[in-house]
Structure 1
């Protein structure tokens, strides 16, 4: 929006009118009318004075407006805080395709639920810097730590199963998060790691990575995803199986305990949503978020127009003087 830094200076606008009115009162009654003399020259001079006076008033108004400092104020921009850095690591291994979750009354795969819940969780973390790690055969940094929550959530929604392989490199995901946290100082370092299996890939064991994370003061919240019971339709009829048999809850619990975090178990979308709400309580968003509005100075516009008016006034007065001189010669 358009605003003025010093609007009170606009009180100076009527100053020339007040001065002229005072001078007019002092000169009232001092005119001498002489009948019989042609008034053509006087009329021309009077009209020229009126036009010049309009130029002067316009120039004065533009100069006062320039001194009042007109500004264009933009939309609020959040200032990144150093209070909390939160990294989200999501498993994209092949087992995420298992359809043991129910969403809106129909069976869906695990990752469809995770994508929705995690995206909502990221969008709510206003005031934090967030990053996204995707892992399967190896861990990859999808989004570095940034206050731009929309971009992180968008990358989460665009992720696909099998994008980085079919296996599960939990240790690499933890190590990559620790490496990224080493680049920032004076912050609460939080890692939320979500998986549905056990470590079977990567170059570092999960517990070794967790010990490094503990030394670097990184708190890890681990989430194990997958239903306990699933009844698929087979050749011999309905069978009851445990789709989460590969989930290494013991290691995930140990990682959380070693880094002063917590382990959570998500068997359905409702539990997963509750887990992220619990994490929001354990690690509330930064409350010292600040913002500012960018301001662009616009004083040079009225100042430039005042300069053009002065040039126009000079040309007008030169033309008027030339016209009067020509009439005098005649």
Structure 2
């Protein structure tokens, strides 16, 4: 919403500009008379057709330039409402499996991986006070985004995260260890890690149950979401190393008990999500059972628009001045 910090100044200035135009116009009419130019009985002098239009265009530029500078002096600003959280929320790290099997398109036509990223994005958007972090898992694991309330940074890295970015294995223990390392130094009252995977641990030097125990010692809660069901599933992804598209069918199955064991080792909860609907419900449950800050207030945020009006006004007045001096002479 556009707003002026000093609308009274703008109103007075606009009134003076209009009054000056009226006075100038009345003076021109009262102080002028017809003086025929040309030989007696001959054709009278007439200004070229384009001259009148040029004069009007120059005057319009001068008026708009004056109003732009007046608006700049009146404090133009854009107003928007924003939420201010009065206490720190939870620190939550999303540990996302990016192995090739996550490209299986058995989530109502969407891949497990894309739906997982969409649900993480929606989860973060609904919890403005919480700092959300992101860990990517493959044959290796890495912290991609430390816990932050900067949703643009999180969404940007989520968008760029790709299948097989960290290799074709599934190092669940490493992923949980990375989450535990960063949550151990967190000063938040509530901490949590959410592991999203469709496979068993088959890479890395750390057993996932050991990593889950370390995570538990930091005071963080653990959620393990097992994605996908049993049976044949189509996979389709682009290998980030070769740039070649890989497609095929694989026998989708994982040991739910092994994932449940990881959850138990971390004192957490395992949720099976064989379908898109159950996947959505799993995230809804995490959102409901992980408390977040409820204390907030709204604040009016003002963004100054002073510079654009000054620049526009100066350009218009400069163009009008140059046009009067050089371009208008071509018509006369």
**Normalising TM by the smaller chain, what interval?**
0.5 to 0.7
Shift of 1:85: 0.6
Separation in 2 of the partners of 1:231 and 1:166? Answer: 17
Separation in 2 of the partners of 1:176 and 1:149? Answer: 21
Give the conservation status (yes or no) of the 8 Å contact 1:110–1:226.
Answer: yes
Unaligned runs of 5+ in 1: 5-69, 233-239, 298-330
- Corresponding residue of 2:102: 96
Separation in 1 of the partners of 2:125 and 2:303? Answer: 30
- Corresponding residue of 2:221: 219
Separation in 2 of the partners of 1:251 and 1:270? Answer: 23
Shift of 1:96: 1.4
Q: Which SS does the other structure have where 1:286 is aligned?
A: coil
- Corresponding residue of 1:276: 283
Compared CA separation, residues 187 and 74, structure 1 to 2 (3 A): farther
Unaligned runs of 5+ in 2: 7-74, 235-248, 305-332
Is 1:243 aligned to residue 252 of structure 2?
A: yes
- Corresponding residue of 1:188: 190
Compared CA separation, residues 203 and 2, structure 1 to 2 (3 A): farther
Shift of 1:224: 0.6
Q: Which SS does the other structure have where 1:230 is aligned?
A: strand
Separation in 2 of the partners of 1:291 and 1:203? Answer: 48
Comparing 170-179 with 281-290, greater Cα deviation is found at 281-290
- Corresponding residue of 1:126: 128
Is 1:170 aligned to residue 163 of structure 2?
A: no
Shift of 1:201: 1.1
Compared CA separation, residues 250 and 102, structure 1 to 2 (3 A): closer
Q: Which residue, out of 241, 255, 259, partners 1:252?
A: 259
Shift of 1:114: 2.0
**What is the 5 A alignment of 1:1-330?**
1-3=3-5, 75=80, 79=84, 81-99=87-105, 101-103=106-108, 106=109, 108-230=110-232, 243-244=252-253, 247-290=254-297, 292=299
Shift of 1:204: 1.1
Shift of 1:138: 1.0
Separation in 2 of the partners of 1:85 and 1:196? Answer: 24
TM score, norm. by length of structure 1:
0.59
Instruction: Give per-residue Cα distances to partners, 1:221-272, cap 9 Å, x unaligned.
Output: 001111223378xxxxxxx98511xx23223212222333210011111110
TM score, norm. by length of structure 2:
0.59
Separation in 2 of the partners of 1:174 and 1:207? Answer: 9
Q: How many residues are aligned here?
A: 224
Give the conservation status (yes or no) of the 8 Å contact 1:227–1:242.
Answer: no
Give the conservation status (yes or no) of the 8 Å contact 1:127–1:288.
Answer: no
RMSD of the TM alignment (CA)? 3.2
Instruction: Give per-residue Cα distances to partners, 1:204-227, cap 9 Å, x unaligned.
Output: 111111111111111110011112
Compared CA separation, residues 157 and 71, structure 1 to 2 (3 A): closer
Give the conservation status (yes or no) of the 8 Å contact 2:80–2:302.
Answer: no
Q: Which SS does the other structure have where 1:264 is aligned?
A: strand
Give the conservation status (yes or no) of the 8 Å contact 1:142–1:155.
Answer: yes
Separation in 2 of the partners of 1:231 and 1:89? Answer: 23
